[in-house]
Amino acid sequence: MRYLPLTPDDRAQMLGVIGAPDIDALFAHVPAAARRRELFDLPLHAGEMEVERELAGLAALNRAAGAGPFFCGAGAYRHHVPATVDHVIQRSEFLTSYTPYQPEIAQGTLQVLFEFQTQVAALTGLDVANASMYDGSSACAEAVMMAQRVTRREKAILSGGVHPHYAAVTQTIAHAEGMEIVRQPAAIDAEAAVIAAIDAETACVVVQTPNVFGVVTDVSRIAEAAHAAGALLIVVTTEAVSFGLLKSPGQMGADIAVAEGQSIGNALNYGGPYVGLFACREKFVRQMPGRLCGETVDAEGRRGYVLTLSTREQHIRRDKATSNICTNSGLCALAFTIHMTLLGGAGLQQLARLNHSRARELKAAVEGAGLQVLTPRFFNEIAVRTKGPATALVEKLAGEGILAGVPYARLDPHAGLDDVLLVAATETTTSDDIAALAAALNAG
């Protein structure tokens, strides 16, 4: 009995020590009306084999991403994760370690975080990165609140190309800080609308590239317009592999870059846990949320690592904190770092090119089936206009063993884009997968 180790004699002895006649006496102060005497309408306890059989039956109702042709993306992407990643993160010193506030016994963990930060800074083209956030969406919200502190303004403009879930999380969190969130209507290409909306009250502009429709945009013009008005530019990326092929946010003038790092080292996992990437220009570092690991030397001149510029106590004192995030997705960040180390710069570029090549093949197949591709410039995801409700098409093809993508209406039910389907291809997508999708679309 691993989790229920006490015997009836143990319980009787404990009750005797505290002077209670029975277990019910511990709840004497709970009003009788709030106490339930009969059993709940739930199954009674079962043996281990019975529970395993029941859970296996429930698990069998789900379809694994690798069970057949799979074209889902929309912020969570299926990539190959080398077996080395899983092997290393399951070492006990990584798997069981907690927060490294005692640097003298946590040098290995701190070094990993420092390496992670270095990789994120290089990928985003910015000066400094933190030791990860919970996920991309919460990182986006934190970036908006950081911009409020830097500019002392209260309005954030969210492009119509930002993932609806990211926009919703930002609205929820930033609302508590009294910020005004101007969320623009969904748009395949939102550059002109974003620039037109910037004014002297704007704290920041949030844009995404590739955006939720898969459109790749050089946001340099938006950066110029934001900076001319004294606002910051926040660039969101949900597909981290795209950093291997596209201009970095820093190259395009971003002040803050946030991203979802799931694509590198982390499997789909039914939506989490994931790992948020966060980087900014050095002059804003003291307003950056989360942890920051620094490199230093000890009293004998040996290289060492410490958490710097922020203490745990800062986050406990909520009124003094730049953020109430005082932890990070450590194991997921480690998986990211291991995979990035295995790839290297050249490997990441090769992986990104392979993704784009697969997406080009997918686009040709979809157009060959008579569907309209709405995305003019893309990395590994495209938006397709279907001949009827996209949800109905996805359900139909799922019955044929093909997961054809994500209906945009599932992300934003009120956008009026019920006939838009988001379709993604990665290095795990084969030509046979694409041919199967094309055949199913041609068959109607």
- Cα separation of 364 and 366, whole Å? 6
Count of Cβ atoms closer than 10 Å to residue 400 Cβ: 14
* Nearest to 160, CA basis, from 199, 195, 135: 195
* pLDDT tens for each residue of the chain, 444 residues long: 456 778 889 999 999 999 999 998 999 999 988 988 888 888 888 889 999 999 999 999 988 899 999 999 999 999 999 999 999 999 988 888 777 878 888 899 999 999 999 999 999 999 999 999 999 999 999 999 999 999 999 999 999 999 999 999 999 998 888 899 999 999 999 999 999 999 999 999 999 999 999 999 999 999 999 999 999 999 999 999 999 999 999 999 999 999 999 999 999 988 889 999 999 999 999 999 988 999 999 899 999 999 888 766 556 666 777 776 767 789 999 999 999 999 999 999 999 999 999 999 999 999 999 999 999 999 999 999 999 999 999 999 999 999 999 999 999 999 999 999 999 999 999 999 999 999 999 987
Helix ranges, 45-163 (H): 48-59, 83-89, 92-95, 107-124, 136-151
At 3 the pLDDT is 64
* Nearest to 314, CA basis, from 279, 289, 283, 277: 289
- CATH for the stretch 66-81+345-442: 3.90.1150.10
- Cα separation of 397 and 212, whole Å? 22
pLDDT in tens, 86-140: 999 999 888 887 778 788 888 999 999 999 999 999 999 999 999 999 999 999 9
Residue labelled with tokens 């710097």: 308
- Cα separation of 357 and 378, whole Å? 11
Phi, psi of 303 (to 5 degrees): -65, 140
83-338 CATH, one of 3.30.1130.10, 3.90.1150.10, 3.40.640.10, 2.40.50.140: 3.40.640.10
Rounded to two decimals, what is the model's pTM? 0.89
- Domain borders along the chain are 66-81+345-442, 83-338
DSSP assignment string, 167-201: HHHHHHHHHTTT-EEEEPPP-SS-HHHHHHH--TT
